[in-house]
Each structure stands twice: as C-alpha cells, then as structure tokens.
Amino acid sequence: GENVEQHPSTLSVQEGDSAVIKCTYSDSASNYFPWYKQELGKRPQLIIDIRSNVGEKKDQRIAVTLNKTAKHFSLHITETQPEDSAVYFCAASNRGSYIPTFGRGTSLIVHP
C-alpha cells in the first residue's frame, strides 16, 4: 500500500519568513495530493491540492509543487503570518482508491 512520509514534524519561523513542508510517497499510481490545515481544536480543512498532470499550483501565499519522478511534493507558504500557525497534513491517493494516505503532520509555529 501507499506510504507517505512528511517532514519536518515541527517548523518554527518568524513572521514574514517562508515555510516549506515536504512529503514523499511510495505508490507511483498516486495522482492526487491534497494538503489540509488543522488549527488548534478544529477540524482539518483542505487548503490546496494538486493532481499529477501538473507540476505546480499557487493560491495567493501558498503553493504546492510535485515531482513525480522523485515521488515527492511540497507545500510552500510565503510571507507567513501568525494565523498560519497550525498543523499541516499532506496526503496521497489515486483514482482507483478513495482512501487517501496521510502524512503524520507538521506543526507550524509562526512567531510574531
């Protein structure tokens, strides 16, 4: 089955800096890679996703990149703000399975 590794487990940055979270996956059939943000005490919510037919996707201050050859994808947050502080989860799944595999999460702390 699919295995998703996520690093780092904790990331501490100063407000205004950039943050990068990286994930690797094992199943070459995976073709959908969502990122979820979970604020303290809240539910995970999708913030951005990418499909395997594109290499990069941006939405304002967040972007995701995908390298299918190396089987890794990354979340980039620019100009971080305190409200970006949360746990971020990556996941991978393929069209034939509606069961995503999640990484273990990254706790992002943005210091004012």
- Which of the ranges 20-28, 44-52, 59-67, 75-83 carries the binding residues for other proteins, by CB under 8 A? 44-52
Residue 18 is classified by DSSP as -
d(CA 83, CA 69): 34
Contact in structure between 46 and 35 (CB atoms under 8 Å)? yes
Question: How many angstroms separate the CA atoms of 69 and 24, rounded?
Answer: 11
Is 99 a binder of other proteins (CB under 8 A)?
Answer: yes
Q: Which amino acid is at 44?
A: P
Contact with other proteins (CB under 8 A): which of 7, 58, 61, 104?
A: 104
Pick one of 51, 58, 61, 111: the residue that binds other proteins (CB under 8 A): 51
* Residue 43 interacts with other proteins (CB under 8 A): yes or no: yes
Least gap, CB of 51 to other proteins (angstroms): 7
